[in-house]
Structure 1
Amino acid sequence: MTNSNKKALSLEQREALLTVLKTRFETNMNRHEGLEWANVQAKLDADNEKLWSLHEMERTGGEPDVVGHDNNLDVYIFYDCSPESPKGRRSVCYDREGLDSRKKHKPENNAVDMAAAMGIAILTEEQYRALQRFGNFDMKTSSWVQTPSDIRALGGALFCDYRYGHVFAYHNGASSYYASRGFRGLLQV
């Protein structure tokens, strides 16, 4: 289990991350029309653990950005917006059970455990499809998405990609992994 002290950023890391997030926010206003960076930053300033999770998303190549605001919960929603599945989260099985079932050539990790350690959630298929409104993502890679328990109970897992102008959802064994498949996450702040 990660010690909460390890989930703190240095002042330099914090300032660098906020600069990157603000620049990305201002460069991609189509993802969050009508939202103000000052309000997002106020939320980030009040929650060091969420800022640490965003740092992990950024560190692993996710390029997190605000894609919406839930008025009922008063939270900003960040998705990984990197053009391809985050590079630092590829070549992973879907979950621990899938990883443990491999007899040979095990990858180093799995998507579900990595997301939990980062304090984020894996996108659902619906959220993945919503992401595509903001651009064309995963045109060369693919991303694991949350898998319904009935599919997972039978050994399968779902992933999506964007090809031929459409989002495709596929299945694979949860123990499979590929250099071009990772996962995208979301964080509510």
Structure 2
Amino acid sequence: MTSTKKKLSQEQAASLLSELKARFEKNKSRHKGLEWNKVQARLEAHPAKLWSLDEMEITGGEPDVIGYDKKKDEYLFCDCSAESPKGRRSLCYDREAHHSRKEHKPKDSAMDMAEAMGIELLTEEEYRNLQQLGKFDTKTSSWVQTPDDIRKLGGALFCDRRYDTVFLYHNGAESYYAARGFRGMLRV
């Protein structure tokens, strides 16, 4: 991660907001009925969330607004890069899996990296909903939140899109591959 203070300078914040606004305007189909000025006001009121979005951007996630949760009054940001973010690949699933590897440990785990960034891995449902907005992970795959009963048995889940279909798979949680990363969700 680039910072431990979890707050951007004014210049960094302005640059990120400009990038996010341009992406928002370019991809209106992802957030029909939402207005950028309201999203920006919410972001400016929550500097730690803006820092998390910057981390998503730095690692190649290309975050964008994909919805609004009326019940919780939250805007939903998600990684919308075509493939799993480059700066978040070659990761095992979680800390336990990372510690279990005796040799050739990956640099980190998806769950730990997401926590450090202040975001959450997508659930399978969120991943499938994202795929309604475009074609993502046609060459890569992304870890998704794994139910405890599967994780307790040593497994973890990941998804991708092949043959114009979204697939859910399983693997050992300690596995990692150059083409597997994770997509994050941030609620603001």
Indicate whether the TM-score tops 0.5.
yes
- State the partner residue of 1:110: 109
- State the partner residue of 2:183: 184
- State the partner residue of 2:63: 64
1:144-159 equivalent positions in 2, closer than 5 A: 144-159=143-158
- State the partner residue of 1:95: 94
SS in 1 for 2:37: helix
Unaligned runs of 5+ in 1: none
Percent identity reads: 68
CA distance in 2 between counterparts of 1:47 and 1:187 reads 12
- State the partner residue of 1:143: 142
- Count residues in correspondence: 187
Q: Deviation of residue 5 (structure 1)?
A: 6.5
Unaligned runs of 5+ in 2: none
- State the partner residue of 1:85: 84
**Matched letter for residue 188 of structure 1:** R
User: In the TM superposition, what whole-angstrom CA distance separates every residue of 1:31-77 from its partner, at most 9, and x where no partner exists?
Assistant: 00000000000100100000000000001000000000111111100
**Matched letter for residue 124 of structure 1:** T
Structure 1 residue ranges, 4+ long, deviating more than 3 angstroms after superposition: none
- State the partner residue of 2:33: 34
Cα RMSD (Å): 1.2
Using structure 1 for the length normalisation, give the TM-score. 0.97
SS in 2 for 1:23: helix
SS in 2 for 1:186: strand
- State the partner residue of 1:8: 7
Using structure 2 for the length normalisation, give the TM-score. 0.98
Q: Deviation of residue 10 (structure 1)?
A: 1.1
CA distance in 1 between counterparts of 2:56 and 2:159 reads 19
**Matched letter for residue 119 of structure 1:** G
CA distance in 1 between counterparts of 2:148 and 2:176 reads 20
